[in-house]
Chains A and B, each alone.
Chain A
Amino acid sequence: MRFWEIGKRNLKELYRDPVSLGFLLGMPLAFILIFSFAFGGQDTRPISLGIVDEDQSQISAVFVDCLESIPAFEVSSPIYKSQTEAEEELNAGGLSIYLLIPHGFGEAIEHHQASKLTLAYNQAAPMLPQRVMPIVREAALGFLNIPVPLNVELSEKQVEIKDEYINYLIPGMAVFGLMILITSVGGIMVRDRARGFLSRLMTTPARPSDFIFGYTLPFIPVIIISIAIYLGVGILMGLSIIGNFGLAFLILFIMGICCMGIGMILGTLAKSEEQASGAPWMFIVPLAMISGAWWPVEQMPSVIKSIAEALPFIHAMDACRDVITKGVGFTSILPELYWFIGWTAALFAIGIVLFRRSMAR
């Protein structure tokens, strides 16, 4: 049980270094707090815009087409014919904001007369109309290439809907937190190599498998505790888990193992402690960002989206979000699961091969 002895030692090194451990667990928590306070209540995905076309004219239809073509909007379907239908959807939480195109809109435009549009929004999202109004105004003034006297009125509605950002944030932040493991797994290996301790261990009869298990197993409890903390803090902050909690946990756990694999590769390739502690941040934060840890990736350039989708992180975040917020089951997330399990297996295999090679240079 040589791996057990090496693992015990590494676990002691880990929990007896409160600064590193605090950083490992505390940094994602700090991010959760900062982001949830800074952006709480604000939905940063393409704005889901309802449209009520009371006018039903040719001009209003062209205007609706124009609005639908704007990437910042996700125009809900179908286009409502009456305000009552949109009100119901607003009350049900399916919409946060809708635009009312009143009777006579087309005629007023045709005759270059002043026209009035109304934006009705949920009072729980006070910033939303500030983002929507200039876009609507621009669209309305530009869609026929003629200046139209236009008045966009705001109408606040008292609707209680849940804060969705925390539901979005927590799975992303949990994956980001697990990505920090890369620096810890790699760091302990590099530190031991730089100080000659790994060389000392390599002169003992320990086999490559003893090292691989000895340097990774201590992080299993760290992964479990981290996930429990992130989800626990999330629940305290209003995260509503609709789906299977265990499945969400499993997704994050596999992601943690995947990050351990990356850490092992880093630990084998990095030449110095500085490289192991600094270099990972050059890819952890950008990768978390383009994978949608904090903001949706829909509005990012397609090249960036393609890169993110080729990597495992976005798949883990999406699968976790689908389970937590939409309640989807195991079979529905299988394509995502296959993707990052494949990555995990490949990264671990590469890590083992590189480590074995490093043992006999």
Chain B
Amino acid sequence: MDAIRTFKLTKRFNSLIAVNSIDLKIEQGELFSLLGPNGAGKTTTINMLCCLLKPTEGTAQIMGYDTIKEPLKVKELIGVSPQETAISEHLNSWENLALIGKIHGMSSDAVKSRSGELLEVMGLTERGKDRVGKFSGGMKRRLSTAMAMVHAPSILFLDEPTLGLDPQARRATWEHIAQLKGKKTILLTTHYMEEADFLSDKVAIIDEGRIVAEGAPGQLKANFLKTRTMLISAENITDELMYGLKGRYSQVKEVEGKLRISDKKLDFRELTDYLYLKGATVHSAALEEPTLEDVLIQLTGKEFRD
């Protein structure tokens, strides 16, 4: 059985179509990332899967349970870390975790033991008894992620779990999420492309409410990025040589003293031979690896911002 299925899932807000007839199929234990520019429909999709929003059309199933007909069954299976930090500011970390754990029917002992583990993993043990209103943004987000996990749900929805975290905390959260791979089904949204690349089994790119591409990160990059790019450090680059290069390749730019050359039929040997023939001295040449961000920009025409 698939962990998450959607069938022509659609959400309209008056005349705006936020999510437009999307079909998702996420297997159990899979880490699936939903990527897209701001306003693409990622959070609306998650909200429908978490029973917070009713679809205008179509249906969604979580472990076979319909989100509209059996919301309580769905809610027993899921853990959600919303985009807002969504914590209770006048409680401490232990109390925040206990609240969610107990609403899910956990015993006091089980909540205590599980909270201790999560606080340790999230690096919050020392501040566990401080009111969370005094926490930094990063600490609040880590607690929010812990609250999604306290009742050990089989499906996790993590909406921008590393937004606002410093690189070190972000890396720690990635590592924790990576440890859950295979054990939990995780639906992740993120602005950090390297995060999706590093963590995801599968990625779906959503733009203006529609899924425009779906697949493993490597597969997406291979399928959608036919253009190859090389960065070359060389001397004696004359105007005549630049003119010649522009005639041969689709994109030639000078970036920080280096040549950045892109073309669908870019061949390393052929390029360096041509430079040599025209009197240039090549010091180094490197093939640029495509990133998911390149795929996204190519597909949506929009750049992401943190």
Contact = CB atoms under 8 A, between A and B. Distances in A.
Interface of A: 2, 5-6, 9, 12-13, 16-17, 195-197, 199-207, 210, 360-361
B75 A204 contact: yes
Contact of B52 (A2, A197, A202): A202
B285 interface: no
B187 interface: no
A200 B91 contact: no
Contacts, number: 76
Contact of B54 (A17, A202, A361): A361
Interface stretch (B19-27, B79-87, B201-209, B223-231): B79-87
B51 to A, nearest CB: 7
Given A6-B99, A12-B88, 13 more contacts: A5-B103, A9-B95, A13-B88, A13-B89, A13-B91, A196-B82, A196-B84, A197-B88, A202-B52, A203-B80, A203-B157, A205-B104, A360-B71
B86 A196 contact: yes
B100 interface: yes
Contacts of B90: 12-13, 16-17
Interface string B79-119: 01011111111110001000110111100000000000000
B296 interface: no
Interface in B46-98: 47, 50-54, 71-72, 75-76, 78, 80, 82-91, 95
B88 A203 contact: no
Contacts of A12: 88, 90-91, 95
Given A196-B82, A203-B75, A2 B95 contact: no
B12 interface: no
Contacts of A13: 88-91
Nearest to A196: B84
Contacts of B131: 16
Given A195-B85, A203-B52, A9 B99 contact: yes
A206 B86 contact: no
Contacts of B50: 203
Nearest to A197: B86
B147 interface: yes
Nearest to A3: B103
A149 to B, nearest CB: 74
Contact of A207 (B72, B82, B83, B88): B72
A6 B96 CA distance: 11
A208 to B, nearest CB: 11
A187 to B, nearest CB: 13
Point out which of A12, A197, A210, A361 has the most chain B C-beta atoms below 10 A from its C-beta: A197
A197 B75 contact: no
A206 B71 CA distance: 11
Interface residues of B, number: 32
A361 B68 CA distance: 11
A205 B101 CA distance: 11
Contacts of A207: 72
A13 B88 CA distance: 8
Nearest to B90: A16
A53 to B, nearest CB: 68
B103 A205 contact: yes
A332 to B, nearest CB: 45
Contacts of B51: 202-203, 360
Contacts of A202: 51-52
Contacts of A196: 82-86
Nearest to B46: A203
22 contacts: A5-B102, A9-B91, A12-B90, A13-B89, A13-B91, A16-B90, A16-B131, A195-B85, A195-B86, A196-B83, A196-B86, A197-B84, A199-B47, A200-B86, A202-B51, A203-B52, A203-B80, A203-B157, A204-B75, A205-B104, A360-B51, A360-B71
A361 B54 CA distance: 6
The 3 closest A-B pairs by CB, nearest first: A196-B84, A196-B86, A16-B90
A26 B53 CA distance: 40
A199 B86 contact: yes
B156 to A, nearest CB: 11
Contacts of B86: 195-197, 199-200
A206 B103 contact: yes
A155 B84 CA distance: 72
A205 B82 contact: no
Nearest to A202: B52
Interface in B146-179: 147, 157
A204 B100 contact: yes
B106 to A, nearest CB: 11
B4 to A, nearest CB: 14
Contacts of B72: 205, 207
A9 B85 contact: no
B147 A200 contact: yes
A7 to B, nearest CB: 11
B37 to A, nearest CB: 21
